[in-house]
Amino acid sequence: MQDDSQARRGRAIALLIAGTGLFWIAATALGAYLGWDQRTRALCDLVALAAFGYAIFMLYGLWRDRQKDKD
């Protein structure tokens, strides 16, 4: 049962990383196409950076839970 929960969390983290990457690429392309100013582009970069940071935080928690279950 615990393995299913960890697998579900792993999939959610993977989706977060993939979705953030797609958002970042789309925001960069849209910003260039629509001529957004640098402040708006930087805001999109910061949002993507925060999402990637949160994903790393979630990965660390998942790793710690797996290490605890290993013993």
Query: Each residue of 2-42: pLDDT tens digit?
Result: 789 999 999 999 999 999 999 999 999 999 999 999 999 99
Contact present, 52 and 17 (Cβ < 8 Å): yes
Residue 16, CA distances (Å) to 6, 64, 71 in order: 15, 19, 29
In this predicted structure, the answer to whether residue 71 has a pLDDT above a threshold of 70 is no
Average pLDDT over residues 35-61: 97
What count of Cα atoms within 13 Å lies in the side-chain half-sphere of residue 8? 5
pLDDT of residue 2: 75
Chain centroid to Cα 45, Å, comes to 12
Name the pTM for this structure: 0.87
